Amino acid sequence: MTAKSPCVDICRFDGRTGLCIGCLRTRDECKGWKTMKDKHRRKIIDDRPRRESKLNRQTRPH
pLDDT band at 2 (very low <50, low <70, confident <90, very high): confident
**Gap between the Cα atoms of 46 and 58, Å rounded:** 20
The pTM score is 0.86
Residue 13, in any domain of the structure: yes
* In-domain check, residue 2: no
Number of domains forming the structure of the chain:
1
Q: Which residue has the higher pLDDT, 49 or 2?
A: 49
Q: Which residue has the higher pLDDT, 10 or 59?
A: 10
| Structure confidence by residue, pLDDT tens digits, 32-50 | 999 999 999 999 999 999 9
Within-domain flag for 26: yes
Burial class (CB in 10 A: 0-12, 13-18, 19+), 3: middle
Whether residue 1 is contained in a domain is answered as no
In which domain, by residue range, is 17 found?
Answer: 7-62
Task: Give the per-residue pLDDT at 54.
Answer: 92
